[in-house]
């Protein structure tokens, strides 16, 4: 079937327009989370506890409920030393269990940035500061 020139041009333009409409849907936005500053001394009170609060961890992990107790008054003693491995920080359960790359903790997980801060805090000795 041979189309007249005007009809052929219309089909080419229409096809091009449809193609251009779908191209933006193929774009990806990569959000790179900042790596923690290894020169910063991370504070349990100022850097770690806010992660538990932001992720609503204390809705389950509170006194008389699911272990560990992550409420501000009990969190440190509930985590250290039982869930922290200073000789192999990456194996610390407080870091690895709710890590975003794992499938073990089915509810709230850390963001990658939060997990990295917790890991850095452990590497710095998991101090109650």
- Burial status of residue 48 (CB atoms within 10 A of its CB: 0-12, 13-18, 19 or more): buried
Return phi, psi of residue 58, to 5°.
-70, -10
Q: What is the rounded CA–CA span in Å between residue 101 and residue 93? A: 13
pLDDT digits (tens, 9 = 90+) for 57-90: 888 888 888 899 999 999 999 999 999 999 999 9
pLDDT digits (tens, 9 = 90+) for 25-65: 555 555 555 678 878 999 999 999 999 888 778 888 888 88
Return phi, psi of residue 123, to 5°.
-60, -30
Q: Where are the domains of the chain?
A: 44-123
Q: What is the rounded CA–CA span in Å between residue 87 and residue 72? A: 26
Side-chain half-sphere exposure of 59, counting CA atoms within 13 A: 6
Claim: this prediction has a pTM higher than 0.85: no
**What sign has the CA pseudo-torsion 42, 37, 61, 84?**
negative
Averaged over 101-119, what is the pLDDT? 79
pLDDT at residue 111 above 80?
A: yes
Question: Any idea what DSSP says for residue 24?
Answer: G
Which of 85, 76, 89, 83 lies closest to 120, judged by CA? Answer: 89
């Amino acid at each position: 079937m041979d189309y007249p020139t005007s009809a052929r041009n219309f089909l080419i333009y229409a096809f091009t327009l449809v193609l251009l409409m779908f191209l933006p849907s193929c774009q990806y936005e990569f959000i790179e989370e900042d790596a923690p500053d290894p020169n910063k001394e991370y504070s349990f009170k100022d850097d770690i506890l806010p992660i538990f609060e932001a992720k609503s961890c204390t809705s389950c992990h509170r006194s008389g409920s699911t272990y560990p107790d992550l409420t501000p008054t009990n969190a440190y003693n509930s985590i250290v030393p039982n869930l922290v491995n200073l000789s192999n920080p990456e194996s610390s359960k407080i870091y690895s269990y709710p890590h975003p790359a794992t499938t073990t903790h089915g509810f709230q997980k850390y963001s990658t940035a939060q997990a990295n801060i917790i890991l850095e805090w452990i590497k710095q000795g998991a101090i109650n500061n």
